[in-house]
Chains A and B, each alone.
Chain A
Amino acid sequence: MSDPITETARRIAAAGESVRTPARDPVNRPMINNWVEAMGDANPVYTDPDRAARSVHNGLVAPPAMAQVWTMRGLHGQRAADDPLGVMTKVLEDAGFTSVVATNCEQTYHRYLLHGEQVTVSARLENVVGPKNTALGEGYFVTTSNTWYVGDEPVAEMLFRVLKFRPSRRPEEPASPTTAESGTSSEPVIRPVIGKDTAYFWEGTSIGELRIQRCGGCGLMRHPPGPMCPECGATNPKFLVSHGLGEVYSYVVHHHPPMPGKALPYVVALVELDEGPRMLGELTGIAPEEVHIGLPVEVAFVRVDDELTMPTWRPRTEGSGR
């Protein structure tokens, strides 16, 4: 593949480490004072000469988490022309991936910095991964690494990952956390991949049937669907239609991250069907704090559009049974 994004990523990664950029100031007490004052950090090894002298450091040191502060570009700073994140950002923005969110920041400190030390920093592109579909929209994960030096000694390192994405339409705030049976939703949802092994299942939901795969050889019921029986190895799966009743075997309450078409929080239940197999699905019609293991539930079918109907679960009502 040689699209401009992949091509640029390969070129920048191959270029390796950028030229080192010096910090504006040497490591200094006034900037440390400002930092600990704002952060509310009371560690005396940064500010109390007597206590610091009696510490493992034998004197005042800079907070490790300030490593990056020394080399921040400041109010009017420009990225260096060979800054890999700057170059990669430009290419992705030109391709329409205009928004950015940082996802990971991993700093390693080889030693504490001392007052008066002059720090420099270099950057390199580790990788660019994508395009990926994320909750925020389609995008690329860009991972860069920085190394801070005193002279030629590496003193700290950082792995930094951002998602450059094309914003997707924000899911509407749903009026109710519950989904009405047979309701038609206009919100985008994450769609299942429907293939040869799973088509029978989705054909079933579209006509209100919960179909369970059953081995054509030994009769073992299984879910999720697969091409081969794990018991006898036969490759002629059949199915039966479940009564759609079961109980909650386990569940999670999903609070974060946001998911397209879902109101947070929502409950995902592992339901043990009366027929035996267990099946994952959203559990609606009940407050998350009232869900419990053993809760009797029944299936409901939520029609998304002409191609997709999702099975969901809800507490069993009086006299339900099919």
Chain B
Amino acid sequence: MPATLLASEVEIGSALPELAIEVTPTFVVSTAIATRDFQDVHHDRDSAVAGGSKDIFLNILTTTGLVQRFVTAWAGPDALVRGVAIRLGVPCHAYDTLTFTGRVSERITEGGEDRFVVEVVGACGAGEHVTGTVRIALPGKLPGEVAP
């Protein structure tokens, strides 16, 4: 994982490195269980198909987790995630590729803290699976570093 970005290094409008995730059945099942979501549509293809879906699909807690992963993989370990707000689109089924893109949309002061808003889109074969924003706080200097 790269070093944490400093607030002064971030430009509004700059794009995040794209992240493509191969959504295998194993990925759908292991993330569902790791988020303690045991609904059958996330691990049992027969049940999912009987309910009108084409296959098992990602659960919401995983989508939220992946949005967080996408942004912190870019921002670095010292970035503080303050909020993840997502709007859900088409389901992301097993055998889809989920591709995240994002850009820094604005810099705000919230809760007495300097924060950045990152816009995120996660698209799979059928269209946009998720759109949303992540609010993060970035350090003004690295921990242990003396301010200039």
Residues on A lying within 8 angstroms of B by beta carbon are 31, 34-35, 37-45, 51, 54-56, 63-66, 68-69, 72, 74-75, 101-109, 112, 255-257
| Band of interface residues on B | 35 or more
Instruction: Report B12-52 CB contacts with A as 1/0, cut-off 8 Å.
Output: 00000000010000010011011111100000000000000
- Say whether, besides A74-B36, A75-B38, A38 and B83 are in contact (CB < 8 Å): no
B7 at interface by CB-CB < 8 Å: no
Closest to A51 in B: B77
A168 to chain B, nearest CB (A): 13
Contacts of B88 in A (CB 8 A): 101-105
B34 close to A38 (CB less than 8 A)? yes
A43 close to B60 (CB less than 8 A)? no
In Å, the complex CA distance between A179 and B78 comes to: 55
Contacts of B64 in A (CB 8 A): 65, 68, 105, 107
In Å, the complex CA distance between A77 and B61 comes to: 17
B44 to chain A, nearest CB (A): 13
B77 close to A55 (CB less than 8 A)? yes
Contacts of B72 in A (CB 8 A): 41, 43
- Say whether, besides A37-B34, A255-B127, A65 and B68 are in contact (CB < 8 Å): yes
- Say whether, besides A40-B21, A72-B35, A106 and B127 are in contact (CB < 8 Å): no
- Say whether, besides A65-B68, A66-B65, A35 and B35 are in contact (CB < 8 Å): yes
B65 close to A41 (CB less than 8 A)? yes
Contacts A56-B78, A65-B65 supplied; 15 other A-B pairs, CB < 8 Å: A38-B33, A41-B68, A43-B77, A45-B78, A63-B68, A64-B84, A65-B64, A65-B81, A68-B61, A69-B61, A72-B61, A102-B88, A103-B87, A106-B84, A106-B85
Contacts of B78 in A (CB 8 A): 45, 55-56
A-B contact pairs, 17 of them (CB 8 A): A40-B21, A41-B73, A42-B73, A43-B77, A54-B144, A56-B143, A63-B65, A65-B67, A65-B81, A72-B36, A104-B85, A104-B87, A104-B88, A105-B88, A106-B86, A109-B81, A256-B89
Q: Of B37, B38, B83, which contacts A107 at CB under 8 A?
A: B83
Please give me the 5 A-B residue pairs with the lowest Cβ-Cβ distance, nearest first: A72-B36, A38-B34, A106-B85, A38-B30, A256-B127
B6 at interface by CB-CB < 8 Å: no
In Å, the complex CA distance between A69 and B88 comes to: 19
A106 close to B83 (CB less than 8 A)? yes
B135 to chain A, nearest CB (A): 8
